[in-house]
A and B are shown apart, each in its own frame.
Chain A
Amino acid sequence: MTQADFMIDREQFSKLFPFHFLVDANMRVLQTGAVLARICPQFCVGQELNDHFSLFDLSSDRAQRITPELISRRKTAPFVFKSASPDLSLRLQAMVLRDPERYLFLGSPWVRALKEMQLLQLVLNDFALHDSTVDLLQITQTNDITKKDLRASISNLEQRVDNRTAELSLANSELSRVMRSKDDFLSAMSHELRTPLNAVLGLSESLAEGVYGEMNAKQAQSINTIAESGRHLLSLINDLLDIAKIGAGKMELDLKKANVEDMCQASLRLVLEQAQKKNLKLTLAMDNKSVMLTADERRLKQILVNLLSNAVKFTPDGGSVTLETKCDVESESLVFSVRDTGIGIATEDLKRLFSPFTQLDSKLSRLYAGTGLGLTLVLKLVELHGGSVAVESEIGKGSCFTVRIPCKGLENAIRGGDKGAVTISESSPANILPSNTPLILVADDNEINLMTVTDYLHANQLRVIQARDGLEAVKMVRQHAPSLVLMDIQMPLMDGLDAIAHLRADDQYAKIPIIALTSRAMVGDRERCIAAGANDYLSKPVNMKQLVKTIHAHLPKDETR
């Protein structure tokens, strides 16, 4: 390529470099680009560069006179020439031309916003296509618009969040109001329901005790069923009332120092009968038996009984339920764990376990009766104590509910106790009631009778073990050596008369007091029973007071109260 290939005329050069100018060695203008001439008309051929422009020094903000020496010194650095009128800055590159010596300046206005272009009355087409000045300004403006859009978008989101928050807040207050109304309603209704129910229960009890005269077996059974249903209804109402009270913030704890072992034993006593019906092994394991806890004893027992009765309910026959207590000195809390070998709970169901009226499997609700409020109440009562509830479970293997109750000064409280020693006791009646309490074996194949008698004897401070046929009765006597036996006569496998005969045939049990119970009440029954070896005879329906009186009459002297 020769030099001629690059020859372009002045007009073409001006199109390529519309803001260029050429000065001689004395800094006099020889030539200017078309657009520069338009926006700065006084800067024309023959004018002295320094009369119109000065060199702007970015580092000192100081204007300098433009000289050939200065141009030579700066070599490759860009020049910024400033003019006061018009207010124009040019960003330029200098080239030194020889023979004769001239200086060519190429560049364009130094503008940082499209607005500055407008002030100079410049339009896009005034810039050469190879000059990206305007493109950069447009990109800047585009970015500004993007920022503005993003701000608008953020503001829109904030507005939506604010609106939604306001809506939620309104909904929350409405919900709170509805909840309060619901709690008030429940509270009022529960009181209204309890009043007639008390009459039902009280009168059932009186009827059962024969206050209004003797009843036949069928009537007694019906009254027991009425009483049992009444008690269930009462527990449901009580739970509802408690939840409503807590929800309404009306439940106050009666905090007192309480003996933890006593609380545990009392709670176990209340589920013992249920457990025995299913042949469950009930165990109490305490790492410190002397620990005292400041809590509402009644409510804490309510928590434990709820958990224990659930454990018993959902553990199949022959399984085990353990109540453990541990002193966690580090977190200053007392930990109660109720562990069972029951049916377990699926992981996905654990979350809704503490919601009201949740029994996880509708099939289960048919198998296991319950209010569906127990765990909700447990959680609320534990939270009232400032504690927490956790649950671990595995389907088919069992569950463990852990209640943690804060206990300030726990370390001092357990000092001197059986710290570190785990005491395990199985809850046979001997462990629930004092060991010097008489132990009575009740043998009856009728569950309601069995339960009614057991309840009554418990209430009268008598320990009870149960058998459901004659064979089991004989086995239990040999196993537990009870103080006295209450023997029903009509039982499957082996009837009461045969069972009495078996026991009397054994020297070891020849003297054990046996009271025969029979619903036959036929002439000759009493004689047959006494002949078989019974010490006494009572016909069903038995008067409970009479029964206890008879029991005490036959108990060995050192075992009666």
Chain B
Amino acid sequence: MYGMVNKSVQALVTTNFGIDKWEAIKKKAGVKEDVFLSNESYPDATTYGLIGAATEVLGLSADEILFAFGEFWVLHTAREEYGDMLSSAGRNLSEFLEYLPMFHIRVALIFPNLKPPRFECSDLQADRITMHYYSHRPGLSVFVRGLFSGVAKLYNTPAQITQTKFKDKGDDHDEFLVSWGDAAK
């Protein structure tokens, strides 16, 4: 994964739990880097190691951490580091999610060696959309749910995110229903 992901995990931990916890997580995960370069490729094992160590050091479940990380990624990392790119992706939640597959592919094309997941959308209606998530990386569906939740917060749109298909339960991919407005009530 690209360094931006690890950098985001670092920011999430140091912002909410302090630098000492981050150092403890790094030590537990056997990670030596003090600074992650956003656009540099790092082994997936580094990210998984950091998340795993974080669950132990912070005493939180993996799902809690991954969901928080998804939201944090959008609301802090992406907004602070890639704010202009994020703004160019859509003017509202609906537009953002509709254009997400195209946005994601265009962004992915910029980064060499990136093995990005694939997003697709269907059933776009005025107050809902179905998002499909395809990835070779296991165990990140909760992170994606956190991402959608973060995007909804980014556009100040109360939304409900429901996972409707689960790859780890035998489906061929993960699927989420994102609804807002009346549909979210």
Identify the A interface with B (CB < 8 A): 113-115, 117-118, 121-125, 129, 134-135, 137-139, 141-142, 145-146, 149-150, 152-153, 156, 160
Residue B90 is within 8 A (CB to CB) of chain A in the complex: yes
Whether A124 touches B110, Cβ cut-off 8 Å, given contacts A141-B85, A146-B38, is no
Interface secondary structure of A, over-half rule: helix
A135 interface neighbour in B7, B35, B87, B106, Cβ under 8 Å: B106
B102 in contact with A149 (CB, 8 Å): no
**Which residue of B is nearest A155, CB measured?**
B35
Interface centre among B85, B88, B102, B111 (most CB of A within 10 A): B88
Interface secondary structure of B, over-half rule: helix
Residue B39 is within 8 A (CB to CB) of chain A in the complex: yes
B106 interface neighbour in A134, A145, A152, A156, Cβ under 8 Å: A134
**Which residue of A is nearest B3, CB measured?**
A149
User: Could you tell me the distance in whole angstroms from the C-beta of A127 to the nearest C-beta in chain B?
Assistant: 9
Q: How large is the interface on B (under 10, 10 to 19, 20 to 34, 35 or more residues)?
A: 20 to 34
A138 in contact with B95 (CB, 8 Å): no
B 84-122 to A, binary, CB cutoff 8 A, 1 in contact else 0: 110111110001000100110011011100000000000
* A153→B38 CA distance, assembly (Å): 11
B110 interface neighbour in A114, A115, A135, Cβ under 8 Å: A135
**Which residue of B is nearest A113, CB measured?**
B84
B37 in contact with A149 (CB, 8 Å): yes
Residues of B within 8 A of A153 (CB): 35, 37
Whether A149 touches B88, Cβ cut-off 8 Å, given contacts A124-B103, A135-B109, is no
Whether A145 touches B81, Cβ cut-off 8 Å, given contacts A123-B91, A152-B35, is yes
* A121→B90 CA distance, assembly (Å): 10
- 16 A-B pairs (CB sep. < 8 Å): A113-B84, A114-B84, A117-B88, A123-B99, A124-B89, A137-B88, A138-B85, A138-B107, A138-B110, A142-B111, A145-B4, A145-B82, A146-B37, A149-B35, A149-B37, A156-B34
A123 in contact with B90 (CB, 8 Å): yes
* A123→B86 CA distance, assembly (Å): 9
A142 in contact with B37 (CB, 8 Å): no
User: Could you tell me the distance in whole angstroms from the C-beta of A273 to the nearest C-beta in chain B?
Assistant: 63
**Which residue of A is nearest B37, CB measured?**
A149
* A14→B66 CA distance, assembly (Å): 42
A149 in contact with B84 (CB, 8 Å): no
A124 in contact with B99 (CB, 8 Å): yes
B88 interface neighbour in A129, A134, A146, Cβ under 8 Å: A134
- Across chains A and B, which 6 residue pairs bring their CB atoms closest together, nearest first? A114-B84, A153-B35, A149-B37, A125-B99, A124-B88, A146-B39
